[in-house]
Amino acid sequence: MRKRVLATSIFLVTVAVFFIPFRQAVAFEKDGWVAAYIPASVGDTFAIRYTHSIHRSDVEETYKLLADGTIEQIALTYEDTAVGMPADAAPGETFTLRDGKYYITGMERKFPSIWLSIGRVVANHRVVYQGKTVALKTVIPPGSIVRIKMTRLSLFQCWRGVNLFG
């Protein structure tokens, strides 16, 4: 009887450890499953870089992870002020032109999550984290819609998803 209780206890603890969220990360969810993730901590920043479909120049949106679980857009960098791009900053933000690029800084736009459609043709969405860049189309099929959010992942979720920078 004791062996059975011990075996059951060990099994339950093992299963619990496998499914209890422990690793803080930025998750890229596709169809409700973690397709990819960045192991990250509160205060870390990451960027989404893409090629604008009209001007064919790079745009970079920079985000910061906040303690309340939200993602805050803190900066925007781009090369053209044409269609779809701001020509000035909102109140409280700073708009500058430096080395042929436009920068909007001081942004405080908070999101519980971000929805992103992975570009099929032109966009080439990339994630930039700690000086490294990874193209999302290498791990998530182009045309997919992903939800980007800060969360804690279990061993099972880490195993199923792709660590973009690991």
Please indicate, yes or no, if residue 14 is contained in any of the structural domains.
no
| Inside any domain, residue 6 | no
Indicate whether 129 belongs to any domain.
Answer: yes
- Residue 139 domain boundaries: 22-163
Q: What share of the chain is helix, strand, coil (3-state, %, to 5)?
A: 15, 45, 35
pLDDT in tens, the chain (166 residues): 788 888 888 888 887 778 888 899 999 999 999 999 999 999 999 999 999 888 889 999 999 999 999 999 999 999 988 777 888 899 999 999 999 999 999 999 999 999 999 988 889 999 999 999 999 999 999 999 999 999 999 999 998 899 999 8
Domain count, the chain: 1
What does pTM read for this prediction? 0.89
Supply the pLDDT for residue 46. 98
CB 69 within 8 A of CB 25: no
In a domain, 15, yes or no: no
State the pLDDT at residue 74: 98
Q: Are 125 and 116 in contact (CB under 8 A)?
A: yes
Residue 4 falls inside a structural domain: no
Rounded CA separation 164/156 (Å): 16
Residue 147 forms part of a structural domain? yes
Structure tokens at 123: 């966009």
Within a domain: 56: yes
